[in-house]
Amino acid sequence: VTPLEKHLKRRIALEGPMTVAGFMAEALTHPQHGYYVTRDPLGAAGDFITAPEISQVFGELVGLWLAEAWRQSGSPTTANLVELGPGRGTLMADILRVAKMMPGFEQAVSVHLVEASPPLRGKQREALGDRAVTWHDSLETVPDGPTFLIANEFFDALPIHQLMRTEEGWRERVVAVQDDDTLIFGLSPGASPLVSLVPPDVRDSAKPGEIFELSPVSIAIMRQICSRISTGGAALIIDYGHPESATGDTLQAVSNHEFADILAAPGSADITAHVDFEMLARAAREEAAVAFGPVAQGSLLTRLGIDVRRQQLSKRVAPAQAKAINSAIGRLIGPKEMGTLFKALAVLPAGAQTPPGFEEPA
Ligand SMILES: C[S@@+](CC[C@H](N)C(=O)[O-])C[C@H]1O[C@@H](n2cnc3c(N)ncnc32)[C@H](O)[C@@H]1O
């Protein structure tokens, strides 16, 4: 029994079954026993690997995108460069390296990292050397001003509620303790008030047994991002997820690069859910920002010139290394790997021009 499981059982004994969102928040970011708070989960020896850890080309192209967005917004002389959930700091290090290619950009930006994990803050410090950086628990404390923001595999870690359509109406999925003292999924006895947030077409068409996932925290953070960039800036959100709001149970646990039981050892496995990009784009529009995409990660990186970069890098190295570069890039853009499941959404102030790699909004 993990220390977090003990804590969750105590909480459930006192307060009753908890929502999936409550469970996810505790499992990932409980201040002593949360998964992210107690470890660096990335890399071959960890639990999972992310795009910036697969190839430097990912961060380089994201960096050029952000620098170009800065130029397109009039090259403000002071601006925030913000990353949500920066992992090991690899992506930000790659961004800052290519940022030097855009005259004035690197000097204009101050770097702000929103990170819940103390061990990962330590890794970020190492990755960024002596570059001045400010850490934040949330976006709220980042100073005002034009903001250029990247979030890669951040939204998938934010808590979701799971609402289930039953013959009796919509119920909320909860985590309870069963007789043998293990955790188990159950359903709330009454209707869930969150149903009013389910898009009407989904609410009307869902069949008994189907689940709709809803992340009010994601919507709130998206709104914060948009209200920030309404005075200048741009945000690029990359994650796995679906382009349109739909039913489906996407909650998953991953440990040691394999799927794991979600409830078996809370605090010791990563727990994520697919991002609902339609919901994020709608939140952006409600804040009077303009959302572009989502486009598939493979298409975005291809349009941003990943093939040219592949050729440049491959020219200077031995054949075995060129093969490794090729295979890493294949993982990022291959339709059966990360190229299609992962998607990118760009958010800009209303009236801004279309950012590189995206098309006019419909
Ligand atoms: C899946 S990792 C992605 C890391 C990095 N972006 C990358 O691509 O390698 C998720 C990151 O978000 C952070 N994180 C998760 N939940 C968070 C929260 N509620 N607030 C701040 N950071 C959070 C984690 O500590 C970690 O740095």
Give pLDDT tens digits for 81-129.
999 999 999 999 999 999 999 999 999 999 999 999 999 999 999 999 9
Whole-number Cα distances in Å, 161 to 23, 24, 89, 193, 217:
10, 9, 29, 11, 10
Output the average pLDDT for the chain: 95
pTM (predicted TM-score):
0.96
Distance from residue 52's CA to the centre of ligand 1 (Å): 13
Task: Report the 10 Å Cβ neighbour count for 319.
Answer: 8
Q: What is the dihedral of CA 63, 65, 68, 70, to 10 degrees?
A: -70
For 53, residues 6+ apart whose C-beta sits below 8 A from its C-beta are 42, 43, 87, 88, 90
Predicted local confidence at residue 262, as pLDDT:
97
Q: Quick check: 361 pLDDT over 80? A: no
Tell me the C-alpha distance between 350 and 66, whole Å.
17
- The pLDDT score that the predictor gives to residue 316 is 86
pLDDT in tens, 28-62: 999 999 999 999 999 888 889 999 999 999 999 99
**What's the gap in Å between 152 CA and the centre of ligand 1?**
8
The pLDDT value given to residue 1: 87
pLDDT digits (tens, 9 = 90+) for 209-238: 999 999 999 999 999 999 999 889 999 999
Which residue has its alpha carbon closest to ligand 1 atom 17?
116
What pLDDT is attached to residue 117? Answer: 94
Report CA(362)–ligand 1 centroid distance (Å). Answer: 31
Neighbours of 342 (CB within 10 A): 25
Q: Which of 28, 115, 156 to mutate to test the pocket of ligand 1 (most atoms within 8 A of CB)?
A: 115
Residue 362 has pLDDT above 70, yes or no: no
Angle, helices 306-315/319-333, rounded to nearest 10 degrees: 170
CA–CA dist 272, 319 (Å, integer) = 37
Which run of H or of E encompasses 25?
helix 20-29
- The CB of 177 under 6 Å from ligand 1? The reply is no
- Whether ligand 1 lies within 6 angstroms of the CB of 105 is answered as no
Residue 117 Cα: closest atom of ligand 1: 25
Query: What DSSP character marks residue 48?
Result: B
Phi-psi region of 352 (alpha: psi -120 to 50; beta: other; left: phi over 0): beta
CA proximity to 262, closest of 185, 163, 171, 210 = 185
152 CB near ligand 1 (under 6 Å): yes
pLDDT in tens, 270-296: 999 999 999 999 999 999 899 999 999
183-187 and 169-177 beta bridge pairing: antiparallel
What pLDDT, on the 0 to 100 scale, is given for residue 66? 98
Percentage of the residues of the chain whose pLDDT score is greater than 70:
100
According to the model, what pLDDT value does residue 340 have?
A: 95
Any idea which residue has 């919507």 for tokens? Answer: 219
